[in-house]
Each structure stands twice: as C-alpha cells, then as structure tokens.
Structure 1
C-alpha cells in the first residue's frame, strides 16, 4: 500500500516530507548526471562508432531536443493526468531506453535511444517539480524544497562529468547502464513516497499533441540550421530556417485556437516569467557550449584521459553542496533577484577567465574559471526555478515548470549547436594550431551568452527598485 502525504500544504519539513523531497531530488540528480556524463564520453563514443564532430553533437542534442520538445506536454500531462502517474510511468521508460543506449552498436540507434530518453525526462521532470510546488507551502518552506531539488539537478549536472570520466574509463556503455540501476532504486522508493492526488481523474482531452509536434519540429529544424550552416549551401540553410519559422507560427496559431492549449499564451504576458526563461536559455546554452569545447580540447588535443578530464571538471560539483545549503540563506538575506544576477555574472567571469586558453595550460591555470562556474550554478540554477514558478496558480505549476525546463534544454541544444558550428567554421585544418584556434573561437559563444544573460536578468533588479 502506497504511503500518502496529506493534501494540505506542508508548512514544515517533516521526515516524510524529507523522504519525498529526497526521492524527487534523486530523479533530478539522475536527469542532470545523465546529460553531463555524455559530454566526457563523447570522444570514446566517436572512436568506437565512427561519428563525425557534427553527428557526435546529436548524442547530446537528441536528448535535449526530445526533452525540450515534449516537456511542455509533460507539464500539461502532469496537471491533467496526475503528477504521481506521470512520474512513475516515465521513470520506467527512462530506465528502458537508457539501457537501450548502452546496447547500441550504431550511431543512429544511440541517437534514437537518447531522443526517447529525453522524452521520458520531459514528462518526469515537470511532474517532480510540480509535486514539490503543490506539496509545500509557498514561502520559505517551498523555496527551500525547490532549491534542494534544483541543487540536486545542478549537482548531478556538474558531478556527472566526474562520474562519466570514471565510467568511461571502464567502458563508455556504463555511462548508460549506471543510470538504469539508480533509476530502478528511485522507482521503488517513489512508489512508496510520492503522494496520490485525492479525487483526481485523468483528463486526456486536454492533451495538445499537435502543438507538441509543431514545437518540437521547429526546435529540431532550428538546431539543424545552426549545426549544418558551415557545411551546406546557403539555400539549404535558408530552407531549414524558414521551416522552423513556419512550424513556430503554426504552433502559435494552434495554441490560440485550441480549447485546451499546450501553452496558455496569456501566461507569457508575465515579464518575470519571460525573463527567468530567457535567463535559463542563456545559462544552459553557455555551459553546454563550454563543456563541449573543453572536453574536446582536453581529450583530443591535449591527450588527457577521461578520468583526468572528469577529475579536472570535478570542482564544478561544488554546487551540489552549496546550492542546498548556502543559496537558501543568501536568497532569504538578499532576495532572489540579486542572487540570480550574481550567479549569472559569475558564469560570465568563468568564461572570460578561460578565453585565453593556451596549449600549455595546467589544471591550476583552469581552476579559477571552474570555481567561478561552480559558484554560478550554485547561485543561478535554483533561483531561476523560484523566479519561473513564483506566483503561478496551482493548476499551471506543471506548465510553468515545463516552460522552464524547455528553456533549459533548448538552451543546451542551441548553445551546443552554435559552438559546434563556430568550431567547425573556425578550424582551417587538423593541425594542433588550427584546432586550438577553433576552440578559442568557440569559447566566445559561452562568454557572449553569459554576458547577455547577466544584462537581461539585471533588468529585474531595476524594475524591483523602481517598484519600491
């Protein structure tokens, strides 16, 4: 018999509430680690499956596009079909297709498995976050729960590079098999601890499949446009870009006419929500671009092993400790907007410090940049989740969570695509000097995104001062 948490909002963190939060945070950690482990494993996957640089980025992009394309549907499904039902069902799918990825013998099988795993995460994550925001009372208790949850996701994202390096040293397939074991344990615990929703009945008529397909298609075409722009004729680039615009316009038209839209367009009138989502796009775009370039540089140009690369990036994992402990204190003391802007500014600083990358750089030379990025995720990741869901009605918490996750994942895919295109275009030949020049050019992408994000989020500070 499943345990049941009372439907009334938790005003304090009871042992049972902590148990629920740990299970949901474990799923967030798993999702974060699943994304970042791929980054360290990419060179090994390329070597065994014979994938090019452009096709290699699809191992990551397929996941994040499946995630970004379906997460709004996932958020809506959580609201209409039941948060517990969606969380448990898609955790099973996550287990199955993560295992399939580990068995893949060809690149297309791996990319397909990654896409479906991303779709599973798209239903899993907004269900988990909306369970938190509807279980804990708004204010300090909910803020703490959201920051612990988001800190777990950010910690998994950064620690995944270390774990990925260690697992890839055994074999890259363990990067897929290890999440299967963790997810199976979480599934058992979730059955016991995730609360049932009294009186809720599935309302499948509110599921907007057409909106989901047009939005996903638009994002896929946009990423294809960016990735292949340096390699194809301008007419092909123009055609795919036009296709993305047409599908996006079709999505907006569908949402305006649908009696149960995937996205209630009125929610986009909220300036704080739009600002938080734009910040999420730029934060993840900058980091995924940075990670992709740094891993290629360290392993393929410098000859570092996967273990050495993972350990070098381990310092980014400080957010796993600081996000749930330090960030709530800072938010209570200085307010969410100030902490958020500071976090994005640390990201810009980290990328700036890495920009003069040289062929003889040691780990000590890279350490200040890694520390700055660890602090960036400590301060920005969870506070974006608060900013994006604060003040949203209960029946749209799944939608707000889905919008934020869409922004995170689409930002990751877009940043990776732009960085790949810049590196390919700027690399004149395969000589070490040319490859290094390409890497340096690519590092401008995360810096530009972080600077833009800092400026954008700072407008929230000005608005707050004028309001007071």
Structure 2
C-alpha cells in the first residue's frame, strides 16, 4: 500500500476494500481449529458441529448472486456499508452465543452479510480504478488479501483460540467497525441514475437463492452424512429443479437478475470454471493434509494451521505482481502455470508422505503450492472482470466469488467420499484423497491452457492499457 499510485483517497479506499475482503475470506476457515473447544463448552454433537463452519459457507455461497445484483441495482457503496455493518453486529453477537443453534445462526448471518459485502467491494474497486495498470495492481492487492485471509484464517484462528474460542468470532468486529467509520470518507458516492431504476427480478431471486442454498447444503451434508442420506439427495434434486426454473425465468424476464448472455462471455466463463475446480482442489488438499498432520503426526491445531502460513505469505507478497503481469501478458498462461505448480505440490505430497521428515514435507510442498496460488488467483480475477460494464460489475463479482465458494464445497465432498471409501479398496485414505486432488489438478491445468488468448500484440497492448 506504500505505492505512490495508491496514496490519497484512492489508496484509503483500496485499503478499506481489501480489509473487508480479508475479513470475509478469513471467516471461512478461522473457526475450524476452535471446534474441539466449542464442542466442550456448548456440548454440540459431532454431526451438528460441522455446521459451525458450514453455515458461513452456506450463507456466503447461497446469496452471492443475489448480493451482486442487489449491489448493481441499489448502489455498490450503500450495499457495502449496510452489509459490513451487519457482519460486524453478527460478529459481536457471536461472542455471546450460549448454544449450538445460536452459534450456527450467527455464522449463517455473517456468511449472508459477506455475500453482499464481497461483490460490492470488488465493484467499488473497479469504480475507483479505471482500466489500466493501476487497476491491475489494485486487483492484485485485492486478490492477495482475499487469498491470504483464507489461507491464514487457520493460523489466526489457532492464535485466537489460545485466548478463547469466542475470540475467533469476535476478532473481526473491531476492524469492520473501523472500516465503517472511514469508508464514508474514501469510497465514491453511488452514481445518480438518470433514468428509471431497473426492475428487480423477484422471480429469479426466489428461485436461484434457495436453489444455491439447497445445492451448497446438499454438498456439505454429503461430506458428513453421505450421498445416500435423504437430506443430501433431496436437497440436490430440489436445487436442480429450482436452478432449471431460474434459467427458464431469466430467458424470458425483461430485467433478468443474471442475463444469460453473461455465460456467453468466454473469459468470464472460462475463469469461473477454472476457479471452481482449482479452489475446490485446494480445499480438498487442505482438508486431507490437516487431518493427516493432526491424526498421524499428532500436531496441535495451531501448529497445523501454521503449516499453511508459508502459502499465505507467497500469496500476500507475490499476487499483486502476478496480477500486473497477467494483465499485461495475458491471463491464460499464468493460470496454467499456477495450477500446474499446485499439481506438482500435490503429487510431491503423495509420493513423499511417510518417506521424508514431516517438516521437510510441509516446506517443500508449500513452496510450489503457495507460488501456484499466488499466480492463479489474481489471474482468474483479472480474466473474470475484463470487459465488464460498471452496471454489471457487482453481478460479475458475485459470479466469480460464487464459483470459488461452491467449487470448494463440491470438490471437498468428492474428496471426502474418496477418503471414506478408500479402505474398502485397500487404499491408504490420506494418500488416496490427495491422489484424487492431484489428478484433478492435472485436469484443471489442461482446462486452464485451453482458455482465451490475446489474438495479437494489439490486443495485449489494449489489455495493458
């Protein structure tokens, strides 16, 4: 943030938007290491304990498309401030919960608030920084704080748990409140509309929002209860019906919530497909490696979380640079190289686990993993938001974030199924699960390589400008 291009009001705006993005991402993983302490105090059953984590993802993933579209219609600044205020209030309320249901409710509300904050914040960033190198650098910083928040959430959660598990819920509130106090000074006012406000697509909202909620719920439930559970397949069937209904509505609506033409934008669609799969592969690896480090090596929650700090450092310091390079030289190559490095990390882990020193295993697997994440995440973000009109920037941001959140849930459920079913085939479960992730990462590398490329030097120059 010391870059002279980011001084003044624009620099403060970027700082505030990156801070909100960090908080939203951090809360996805920060509570995971506190689950044993939560179970001990609140007496939650293991089957309901997972929802302390999953409720946030449920609200976040389920409401992102709605949040993005609401921000486009009612104002990015207005939606950002209101949703961040709700996030702060829910964080404070979480420190006073006295039962499992109230804890899950607080987490759900925080997730819903984040689903409105994240796309509004990214749309505001696009409004503050016009096309060109400044936007590329700003997107890089925004991407680095979001990715670092997610990766470092386990580390910060482990440190907060040393005080109290309640600190993992409350610790974001002071930062959110400070951001709210400074935001009116730095964030641009919402543009005054010269014509009538677009009609709100209520039919689309009441089909896609519960459709995504049920889809995320079904996938999450499958990880714990299995695919044969009635709540799993029942939710997924209902989700498919609602999503198909949503597509039919959008094809006919005058002011659709998600114009179907958005899916015909090659760069946006390709970026979201890669993001869906690559984030899911990372979540699957993190899930399996976390279990292995705690169950086999016997490491503490804090030590296990700290294992991922190296990747977080790579992302925090290198993502802004890679965003600029991707903007200038094309995103497809950096996506491909980044996912390829992650595939190398997963393959190395499978081949080396149990054969080399544990500390060496962590260090040598985190280097390509962190470097690959730092290359891939900002490249996907730059590609997804290229050539997006301002009145659709919130929606495009919501689609981008939704791909990451839902992809994480889908691939995690598949990884959990491989992990649980491996012993029946005589496979070691940890290696089998990471081998699945590694195979998927190789496939993602091929998909990334097939992405759109600048057709000429003039196109690359235009992207850089």
Q: TM-score range by the shorter chain?
A: 0.7 to 0.9
Which residue of structure 2 aligns with residue 438 of structure 1?
Answer: 429
SS in structure 2 opposite 1:197? coil
Number of aligned residue pairs: give it. 452
1:91 equivalent in alignment to 2:84: yes
Which of 138, 144, 156 is the aligned partner of 2:131?
A: 138
1-side partners of 2:36 and 2:105: how far apart? 19
Which of 410, 420, 425 is the aligned partner of 1:424?
A: 420
Equivalent residues in 2 for 1:160-199, closer than 5 Å? 160-199=153-192
- How far did residue 465 of structure 1 move? 8.3
| Residues 263 and 448 of structure 1: CA distance in aligned 2, closer, same or farther (over 3 Å) | farther
1-side partners of 2:202 and 2:32: how far apart? 31
Deviations 1:37-61 (A, max 9, x none): 1333344444544556654443333
| Residues 417 and 107 of structure 1: CA distance in aligned 2, closer, same or farther (over 3 Å) | farther
1:381 equivalent in alignment to 2:374: no
- How far did residue 330 of structure 1 move? 3.0
Which of 35, 38, 60 is the aligned partner of 2:31?
A: 38
2-side partners of 1:57 and 1:214: how far apart? 26
- The answer to which of 367-376 and 444-453 deviates more is 444-453
- How far did residue 299 of structure 1 move? 2.6
* Structure 2 contact 52–103 (Cα < 8 Å) conserved: yes
| Residues 181 and 56 of structure 1: CA distance in aligned 2, closer, same or farther (over 3 Å) | same
- The answer to which of 132-141 and 352-361 deviates more is 352-361
2-side partners of 1:32 and 1:325: how far apart? 17
- The answer to which of 326-335 and 142-151 deviates more is 326-335
- How far did residue 237 of structure 1 move? 5.6
Which of 106, 119, 122 is the aligned partner of 2:99?
A: 106
Which of 348, 357, 362 is the aligned partner of 1:366?
A: 362
Deviations 1:170-208 (A, max 9, x none): 222211111112211111121221111242499776333
- How far did residue 225 of structure 1 move? 4.2
Which residue of structure 2 aligns with residue 340 of structure 1?
Answer: 335
2-side partners of 1:236 and 1:14: how far apart? 52
Which residue of structure 2 aligns with residue 241 of structure 1?
Answer: 236
SS in structure 2 opposite 1:162? helix
TM-score, structure 1 as length reference: 0.87
Equivalent residues in 2 for 1:199-218, closer than 5 Å? 199-200=192-193, 206-218=199-211
- The answer to which of 11-20 and 162-171 deviates more is 11-20
User: Structure 1 unaligned runs (5+)?
Assistant: 1-10, 429-433
1:159 equivalent in alignment to 2:152: yes
1:284 equivalent in alignment to 2:279: yes
Which residue of structure 2 aligns with residue 149 of structure 1?
Answer: 142
- How far did residue 324 of structure 1 move? 4.6
Which residue of structure 2 aligns with residue 431 of structure 1?
Answer: none
SS in structure 1 opposite 2:307? helix
- How far did residue 70 of structure 1 move? 1.1
- How far did residue 24 of structure 1 move? 0.5
* Structure 2 contact 266–452 (Cα < 8 Å) conserved: no
Which residue of structure 1 aligns with residue 463 of structure 2?
Answer: none
1-side partners of 2:95 and 2:41: how far apart? 13
* Structure 2 contact 323–379 (Cα < 8 Å) conserved: no
User: Structure 2 unaligned runs (5+)?
Assistant: 461-465
- How far did residue 359 of structure 1 move? 9.0
Which residue of structure 2 aligns with residue 6 of structure 1?
Answer: none
SS in structure 1 opposite 2:388? coil
2-side partners of 1:206 and 1:394: how far apart? 17
- How far did residue 209 of structure 1 move? 4.0
| Residues 351 and 210 of structure 1: CA distance in aligned 2, closer, same or farther (over 3 Å) | farther
| Residues 456 and 232 of structure 1: CA distance in aligned 2, closer, same or farther (over 3 Å) | closer
* Structure 2 contact 216–406 (Cα < 8 Å) conserved: no
Equivalent residues in 2 for 1:252-267, closer than 5 Å? 252-267=247-262
- How far did residue 464 of structure 1 move? 5.0
* Structure 1 contact 82–202 (Cα < 8 Å) conserved: no
Deviations 1:151-181 (A, max 9, x none): 1111111222211111122222211111112
Which of 299, 313, 321 is the aligned partner of 2:316?
A: 321
- How far did residue 213 of structure 1 move? 3.7
TM-score, structure 2 as length reference: 0.88
1-side partners of 2:288 and 2:46: how far apart? 11
Which residue of structure 2 aligns with residue 349 of structure 1?
Answer: 344
- How far did residue 112 of structure 1 move? 2.3
